[in-house]
Chains A and B, each alone.
Chain A
C-alpha cells in the first residue's frame, strides 16, 4: 500500500534522511520510531508531498507522490501532533473548508464521522473552545473524510490523557478491523506502538536501523538483572553461557538457557549472588539498543 524507496533529504547541507526504504502492507499498522530529529517527520512530510525529497520515491497504492501528488494523496488521511484548525470557526465549518479541498463535502458522511468520533454535541462550537482531546477527535474526523485508505498519524496521542489515548488506540484498531485501514503511526510512546502496531521501523540520524514485526522484537530469550560479586567471576560465568550484556545491565542468554544453571555456576565459582530478576525485553529496550548500537 505504501512504499518508501531510498529517500534522501538534506536541510542546509546536513543529511536529514540517508536513503530510507520500507514498506507498509495493506491493512497493516506500521510504527515509525526514532529520537527527536531522527527524520520521522521529514519522512511523513515527504509522503504527504509537503517536503521535497532529495532523491527517492514514495508510492501510495502504486502511485508516485513525487510525480502525481494529487492522485496519490486522494487515498490518504492524516493527523498531526497538535492539529491546527481555524479557531475562529466551528468544527463543522473547519470540516467543510478542509474536506472541500479534496472535492465534494458530503454532509451525511461528515455527520456520520462526527458522530463516530463523539463530537456531535460540540461540532457547531468554535474550535477555539475545544480541549486538546476534542481537537484530536476533530482531526480524526477530517482525516477520515472522504474515505481514505491509509492514515498517517504524526504523534497523534501526544498530550492526551490516558483515557484519551485508550479511546484513540481502540478507534484506530477498530478502523483496521472494520475497513482494513492501513496506518503509518509515528509516535514517541513506545507502549502505544507495541500495543497497536504489527511492524515497526526505527530511524536514527536519518538512517533506517531496524524494520520488522513487533513480535520479532519481543524475543523470548531469558533476560536477567543479575548482580554478583566479584565482577570478574560474574563476567566469566555469563560469557561461559554465551550471555550478552545489554544497555541497563540486563543480561540476555541464548534460547533454552536455564536461569537456575547460571545461578548454580555462579555459586560454584565462589560468587556472592545478590540479585536475580528475570526481565522481559520490551520494545523500549530494543529501541534503545538499536539507537545506541548505531550511535556507537
Chain B
C-alpha cells in the first residue's frame, strides 16, 4: 500500500507540472496537422496506388487507416523526442534542482526511489501513446466519419494487409497501439538511464535521442539490411506485425523479450550508477 501511495506521489509530481500538458497540446496540434496532410495530400496519392493495385478505395479513406498513419508518424517524429525529454528529466532534473537531496534524506532506499521513478515514466509513456491513439482516432472520426476498414502498407516491414471488417480492424489497431506503447518504453528507458548519470537533464535527453536516431540511421543503411535484427529501432517497429493478417507471434514475442531485456538492463545500469553516486551541494 505504501508503495502504491509513493507511486501516486511520483505520478503527481509528473502530472502537476504545467509543461507536461504543453506536450499533450503540442501532440494534439501535430496530430491535427498530420490528419490535414493525410486528408488533403497523402490520401489522394495512396488512393491512386490503391486503384492500381485493385485495393478498394474506401479502405484507404477510413478513419482507422488515417489513425494508423497519424500514430506511426507522430510517435516516431515527436514521441521519441518527447519521451526522451520527460525520461531524461526524471532523475537528472531533481538532482540539478536539489530536490533529490530532500528525497534521499528520507528513510527510503535508492533502488526504491528509482523503481518509483521508472514506473512513473513507463506508465506515462504507455498512457501517452494510448492518448495519441484515442485522440488521433477521434479527430479522424470527426473528419472522415466512421465508415471503412483498415489498409496497412508498410514496405520496410514487408506488410500489406487489408481489413474490410471494421471491428477486427479496430481491435488490431488498438492492440497495435498497446505494443507501440511498449516499444516507446525503450526510448524512455534510454532517457532514464542517462538521467541517472551525473549529467544535466538536457544532456540526458540528447544522449537518449542520439542513441535512438543513430540506431535508426544504421538500421536503414542498405548494406546492413541483413543485420536489422540487432537494431533497437527495428525491434521497436515490430508492433506493426500485429496488423499482419497472420500474426507472427513468435517474432513479436522474441522482439519484445529483447526490448524488455534491454529495458531491464538499462534500469539496472542506471541504478548501479545512481547507487554509487555521492549527492552533495
B13 adjacent to A97 (CB under 8 Å): yes
Q: A100 and B107 in contact (CB under 8 A), knowing A52-B278, A89-B13?
A: no
How many residues of A are counted as interface, with CB atoms below 8 angstroms from the partner's CB atoms? 37
B18 adjacent to A100 (CB under 8 Å): no
Chain B nearest CB, measured from A78 CB (Å): 5
Q: Mark A181-193, 1 if CB is under 8 A from B, else 0.
A: 0000000000000
Asked if B102 is at the interface (CB within 8 A of a chain A CB), the reply is yes
A51 adjacent to B99 (CB under 8 Å): no
Q: Which of B1-9, B213-221, B244-252 contacts A (4 or more CB under 8 A)?
A: B1-9
A sample of 8 more A-B contacts (CB under 8 A), given A88-B16, A93-B16, is A45-B279, A70-B109, A83-B102, A84-B102, A89-B12, A98-B102, A100-B6, A105-B5
* Residues of A close to B12: CB separation below 8 A: 89, 93, 97
Measured in the bound complex, the distance between the Cα atoms of B13 and A83 in whole Å is 17
Residue of chain A at shortest CB distance from B6? A100
B9 adjacent to A100 (CB under 8 Å): yes
* Residues of A close to B97: CB separation below 8 A: 84
Measured in the bound complex, the distance between the Cα atoms of B104 and A98 in whole Å is 10
Please classify the interface of chain A as helix (H, G, I), strand (E, B), loop, or mixed, using the class held by over half of its residues: loop
Using CB atoms and an 8 Å cutoff, list the residues of chain B in contact with chain A.
Answer: 2, 5-6, 9-10, 12-13, 16-18, 97-99, 101-109, 113, 276, 278-281
Q: A142 and B102 in contact (CB under 8 A), knowing A45-B280, A51-B279, A100-B6?
A: yes
Measured in the bound complex, the distance between the Cα atoms of B4 and A100 in whole Å is 10
B109 adjacent to A84 (CB under 8 Å): no
Measured in the bound complex, the distance between the Cα atoms of B275 and A60 in whole Å is 21
Measured in the bound complex, the distance between the Cα atoms of B103 and A39 in whole Å is 22
Please classify the interface of chain B as helix (H, G, I), strand (E, B), loop, or mixed, using the class held by over half of its residues: helix
Residue of chain B at shortest CB distance from A142? B102
**What are 13 contact pairs spanning A and B, CB under 8 A?**
A11-B278, A45-B278, A50-B279, A50-B280, A51-B278, A70-B109, A78-B105, A80-B102, A86-B13, A89-B12, A98-B103, A101-B107, A104-B2
Q: A101 and B6 in contact (CB under 8 A), knowing A70-B107, A85-B102?
A: yes
The 6 closest A-B pairs by CB, nearest first: A84-B98, A73-B107, A101-B106, A50-B279, A97-B9, A51-B278
Residue of chain B at shortest CB distance from A83? B102
Most chain A CB inside 10 Å of its own CB: which residue of B6, B99, B102, B278: B102
* Residues of A close to B10: CB separation below 8 A: 97
Asked if A71 is at the interface (CB within 8 A of a chain B CB), the reply is yes
B108 adjacent to A86 (CB under 8 Å): no
B281 adjacent to A81 (CB under 8 Å): yes
Measured in the bound complex, the distance between the Cα atoms of B101 and A101 in whole Å is 13
Asked if A69 is at the interface (CB within 8 A of a chain B CB), the reply is yes
A41 adjacent to B107 (CB under 8 Å): no
* Residues of A close to B280: CB separation below 8 A: 41-42, 45, 50-51
* Residues of A close to B276: CB separation below 8 A: 52
